[in-house]
A = this chain, B = another copy of it.
Amino acid sequence: MEAEIIATGSELLAGAVADTNSSFLARRLRSLGWKVQRIQLVSDTESAIVEALLEATGRCKLVVMTGGLGPTRDDRTREAVARAAGVKLVLDQAQLTRLESFFRHRNRPFPSTNHKQAFRPATATLIPNPRGTAPGFVMPMQRCSLMVFPGVPHELRHMVESFEPFPRLRTQPQLDIDIVGVAEASVDERVAALTLPPSVIVGTQAGGHRIRLRLEGRTDAEMLLAHQTIWQEFGAHYLGAEGKSLEQVVIESAQQSATLLACAESCTGGMIGAKLTDVPGSSAVFRGGVIAYHNDIKCNALGVEANTLERVGAVSAEVAEQMARGVRARLGAGLGIAVTGIAGPGGGTVEKPVGLVYLALARADGCSVIERRFVGERDKVRRAACNTGLDMLRRAILGLPELAST
């Protein structure tokens, strides 16, 4: 069954803000068996919304809208929907009471601008928004169901995840398998060369360090077989099939094996720590880290030897190793990961070009160091270095083969 998505907001059309709501909604709809045929970003004028809405509701069975329910003058979705459906906006008394109590609980006066959030199209049923003042709503339009949500991403996500508002269709078995540390083209090529059950279709999605293989098949047995074949092919590069991020896998496996972690970061400047602590419960295994940006800090806080720095420079295998050993010992961790490199745009030389990064992993029984030469701009080099460091932790914790220099 076909669905469409309409996101409103002039900021989307100015290219000022990336539209993440549509892809969230598309993924959600897809997982329930809907086929999203079109996504439209339209400006927040009433006439533009009405036009897009009439077109979309004439073409498919479900239209999901996001945006334009806020309190400001720019927020015209409620009015536009009522106009497109040919119904009036009516005051919803229960919603008015909810709004009043929302502001009372926060010791704030009820702003007159927010009054309009108590109104809904006459034929609409409200969808609660526990996190904000703008409820969503669902109503019929033409031969279609229309669902409207606010555009604030965390409110939208919470509403969709809490209330499961979309009808679930009968779907084929689906599975997402994540691969890390292999280039997309190479994943693609290796998957194409596998012998998989003929009913299984594999799509590839690149997402930076993690490549997601999306499998669709006819039966669970065929899906299981395909899953095993892919796992076998990618070995230690296989991250999992539960949609977990690299840092989640690191933290969860560290919890299971009671491994304490610490990081020493130069060119990544805190990114590894920030990723690890993004995972709830990381405090059980993450001790902390040192952002050793200046060489002084490498010496004073990590015990890197000044003469090593002088002899081989901060971006070197030796310094990476001393950083990893230092942070592991000083922070009382089982595993210490260290990164030092040249993120650019400045600082590169012929011998040590932008993109050159050394990563070291210190364990109780030794320390491994690898060299990488990442391609791209500052941000890309830093992200690649951060992900490679996380992958080294993952492999060490899970007892998988170590990464090698490339």
Bound complex: CA A272 to CA B27 (Å): 31
If A283-B294, A301-B290 touch, whether A17 touches B269 (CB-CB below 8 Å) is no
A154-B376, A281-B346, A293-B288 as given contacts; A41 in contact with B39, CB under 8 Å:
yes
A205:B346 contact, CB within 8 angstroms? no
Distance of A133 Cα from B344 Cα, bound (Å): 23
Q: Which residue of B lies closest to A12 (CB)?
A: B39
List the B side residues contacting A214 at CB < 8 Å: 11, 14, 16
- Smallest Cβ-Cβ distance to A293: which chain B residue: B288
A267: chain B residues at CB < 8 Å are 277
Give bound CA distance, A297 to B152, whole Å: 37
B27, B30, B72, B290: which contacts A204 (Cβ < 8 A)? B72
- A382 on the B face (CB < 8 A): yes
Interface size class of A (residues with CB under 8 A): 35 or more
Q: Beta-carbon contacts of A48-73 to B below 8 Å, as 1s and 0s?
A: 10001001000000000000001111
Distance in angstroms from A339 CB to nearest chain B CB is: 11
**Contact pick for A271, options B15, B270, B286, B382, CB 8 Å:** B270
A344 to B287, CA, bound (A): 17
- Given the complex of chains A and B, what is the CA–CA distance between A152 and B278 in angstroms? 26
Residue of B nearest to A266 (CB): B288
Whether the pair A269, B276 counts as a contact (CB closer than 8 A) is: yes
Q: Are A291 and B270 in contact (CB under 8 A)?
A: yes
Given the interface pairs A205-B16, A281-B346, the reply to whether A291 lies near B288 with Cβ below 8 Å is: yes
**Residues of chain B contacted by A270 (CB below 8 angstroms):** 263, 265, 269-274, 277, 289, 291
Q: Min CB distance, A105 to chain B, in Å? A: 11
**Which partner residue on chain B sits nearest A378 by CB separation?**
B280
Q: Does A305 have its Cβ within 8 Å of any Cβ on chain B? A: no
Interface of chain A: mostly helix, strand, loop or mixed: mixed
Whether A377 pairs with B27 at a CB distance below 8 angstroms is no
Whether the pair A18, B23 counts as a contact (CB closer than 8 A) is: yes
Given the known interface contacts A72-B188, A291-B290, the answer about A331 and B297 at a Cβ–Cβ threshold of 8 Å is yes
Contacting residue for A280 out of B43, B111, B346, CB 8 A: B346
Report A382 CB to chain B, min CB distance, Å.
7
A295 vs B288: C-alpha distance in the bound complex, in angstroms? Answer: 9
Report if A345 contacts B (CB, 8 A). yes
Q: How far is the CB of A37 from chain B (nearest CB, A)?
A: 6
- Asked whether A19 is an interface residue with its Cβ less than 8 Å from the other chain, the reply is yes
Given B176, B268, B330, which contacts A274 in the complex, CB threshold below 8 Å?
B268
Assembly CA distance A61 to B390 (angstroms): 47
Say yes or no: is A120 at the interface (Cβ < 8 Å to chain B): no
Query: Is B39 in contact with A38, judged by CB distance below 8 angstroms?
Result: no
| B interface footprint on A290-312 (CB within 8 Å = 1, 0 otherwise) | 11111011001100000000000
Asked if A185 contacts B71 (CB within 8 A), the reply is yes
Give the contacting residue for A301; candidates B204, B263, B274, B330; CB below 8 A. Answer: B330
Q: Which residues of B contact A24 (CB under 8 A)?
A: 15
- Chain B residues closer than 8 Å to A344, beta-carbon distance: 280
Q: Which residue of B lies closest to A45 (CB)?
A: B37
Q: Is the CB of B14 within 8 A of A38?
A: no
CB atoms of B22 and A203 under 8 A apart: no
Given A11-B212, A71-B185, A271-B274, 14 more pairs with CB closer than 8 A: A13-B39, A14-B26, A16-B23, A16-B27, A17-B205, A18-B20, A71-B188, A111-B185, A265-B273, A269-B286, A270-B291, A273-B273, A277-B291, A281-B346
